[in-house]
Amino acid sequence: MKYVVLFCMICIVYCQQPPNNTETHLPVTQLVEPNPEPRFVRQEGQIKYGDTLERVLLRHDIDRKTALELIDAFASHYDVRRIKPGHEYSVLYDTTSIIQGFEYQAAKEQKIRVLKDSCGTFHSKAITLPLDTTRVALEGMIHTSLYDAILEQGESPELMVGFSDIFQWDLDFFTDPRKGDRFKILYEKIRLADEIGEFIRYGRIYVGQYISQDTTLTAVYFDNHPQKSGYYDTRGRSFQKAYLKSPLNYRRISSSFSSGRRHPILKIVRPHHGVDFAAALGTPVSAAGDGVIIDKGYNKGLGNFVKIRHKNPRHITVYGHLQGFANGIKKGVQVKQRDVIGFVGKTGLATGPHLHYGFYDNGRPINPLRIKNVSGDPILDKNRERFTAECQVLLRELQKSLPMVHQDQMREMGYGE
């Protein structure tokens, strides 16, 4: 018996010894590559004016029940009311001509894809392509207009709009520019992050400069946290001011402020206490500054008009000859600067479509183009050092890209040679 016990003990000890092979064997895991992109037969097209998604699908002989199921899935990622004429789409079929999905090119960098799963249920997802953002500089000289000058540099009107928005409190880019004026812009360009690098849109403008014969305006973007971010001059003063230079973006001055002007309809000489901006019928008219509407209506001379009393209660602006009013515009309503209040028309005593814009200080008419504008809040004291450092970096980048940046201006700001 004792030999049996001894044999068992020897077996137990032996079994507890580690094997001579010291390799550790882990469970085998099979690496499975993701399913390849499914291949479909595509029928491609473009959204037409007046199209709905349902109308597009029915046009491809998809039965209404299937179309509605697909639309429900599509709507979980994209508002079907936002599909736009000219945008491309693809209807996806398998090799037996059974519909398997739908793709809509919502933007250059985004598509909405709807696919049918193995159970026959549609599911959607938004596919966003990776983007590449680079900072570039542009310089140009005005021969006719800022619009033409930017197009001459190979850029699009969207850059002109962004640039002019920065200076809209100081410059009217349809009347102020003179031949020989120059501009400089440091801005972002956003492209698809692929081999072609198709341009998608402009990003932020970091620096804008406008150089005329007698002055140079420099605007630098800065995050003035916790206050509003925006554009500041090199001394930290805000470019945003109490009143816009003009309540219209695209226009020309057709009649200037005058104490004695021959009226084009009445044929008599009388004061013209305002500025007339010729523009196409329906052009949006914006509030020149924050305030409250104190009057709205119609009279024989101004036609449809709006009056706004501003934060400085001495100041009232008047907008006349309107075709109509924006929704919600009525007496007592608060408006913000750049809120649309109406649309250019030719009501009242008007020979053609234009906006009459008047500015009054304590009841006294003032030339709107010559008002002394008040700047917004400056850089916060606690942000001053950070602003100076960031401003220096951005202006040096602009200087490096565009050597024509004035050296004397850099020295004046204390940024050295």
CA 353 to chain centre: 28
What 3-state DSSP class applies to 298?
A: strand
In degrees and rounded to multiples of 5, residue 296 shows phi and psi of: -155, 135
Q: What confidence score (pLDDT) does residue 250 get?
A: 44
Q: Are 355 and 251 spatial neighbours (Cβ–Cβ below 8 Å)? A: yes
DSSP character string of 168-230: TTT--TTTS--TT-EEEEEEEEEEESSSS--EEEEEEEEEEEEE-SS-EEEEEEE--TTS--E
Q: What confidence score (pLDDT) does residue 48 get?
A: 95
Q: H-helix or E-strand containing 344?
A: strand 340-344
- Could you give the CA distance from residue 138 to residue 185 in angstroms, rounded to a whole number? 5
Residue type for 300, please? K
CB atoms within 10 A of CB 11: 10
The CA-to-CA distance between both ends of the chain, in Å, stands at 103
Q: What confidence score (pLDDT) does residue 268 get?
A: 34
Q: Are 182 and 139 spatial neighbours (Cβ–Cβ below 8 Å)? A: yes
Domains of the chain: 41-128 (3.10.450.350), 130-241+376-417 (3.10.450.350), 252-370 (2.70.70.10)
Verdict on whether the full-model pTM lies above 0.85? no
Q: Find tokens 């960031």 and name the residue.
A: 390
Q: What b/e string do you get for 30-55 counting C-beta neighbours within 10 Å, with b at 16 or more? A: eeeeeeeeeebeeeeeebeeebebee
Q: What confidence score (pLDDT) does residue 174 get?
A: 65
List per-residue pLDDT tens for the chain, 417 residues long.
545 444 455 444 444 444 433 333 333 333 333 344 567 899 999 999 999 999 999 999 999 999 999 999 999 999 999 999 999 999 999 999 999 999 999 998 999 999 999 999 999 999 999 999 999 999 999 988 888 888 888 998 889 888 988 988 888 776 678 889 999 999 999 999 988 888 999 999 999 999 988 889 999 999 988 877 899 999 999 888 888 877 875 433 343 333 333 333 333 333 445 688 877 888 889 999 899 999 999 998 899 999 999 988 999 999 999 999 999 999 999 999 889 999 999 999 887 888 899 999 888 888 877 676 777 778 899 999 999 999 999 999 998 877 554 444 444 444 443
Outline where DSSP puts E strands in 122-181.
122-128, 131-141
- Could you give the CA distance from residue 230 to residue 221 in angstroms, rounded to a whole number? 6
Q: Are strands 315-325 and 303-310 parallel, antiparallel or unpaired?
A: antiparallel
Q: What confidence score (pLDDT) does residue 125 get?
A: 95
What 3-state DSSP class applies to 135?
A: strand
Q: What confidence score (pLDDT) does residue 208 get?
A: 95
Residue 266, Cβ density class (10 Å: 0-12 exposed, 13-18 middle, ≥19 buried):
exposed
Q: What confidence score (pLDDT) does residue 176 get?
A: 78
Q: What confidence score (pLDDT) does residue 249 get?
A: 55
Q: Is the dihedral of CA 350, 355, 360, 364 positive or negative?
A: negative
DSSP conformation class of 281: T
Q: Which residues contact 76 (CB under 8 A, 6 or more apart)?
A: 124
- Could you give the CA distance from residue 355 to residue 398 in angstroms, rounded to a whole number? 39
Q: Are 168 and 217 spatial neighbours (Cβ–Cβ below 8 Å)? A: no
Residue 372, Cβ density class (10 Å: 0-12 exposed, 13-18 middle, ≥19 buried):
exposed
Sequence-ordered alpha helix ranges (H) in 331-403? 384-401
Q: Give the gyration radius of the chain's Cα atoms.
A: 33
> What pairs with residue 241 in β-bridges?
375
Q: Are 167 and 206 spatial neighbours (Cβ–Cβ below 8 Å)? A: no
Sequence-ordered alpha helix ranges (H) in 40-119? 53-59, 64-75
Q: Are 361 and 314 spatial neighbours (Cβ–Cβ below 8 Å)? A: yes
Question: Tokens standing for 199?
Answer: 């341009």
CB atoms within 10 A of CB 294: 12
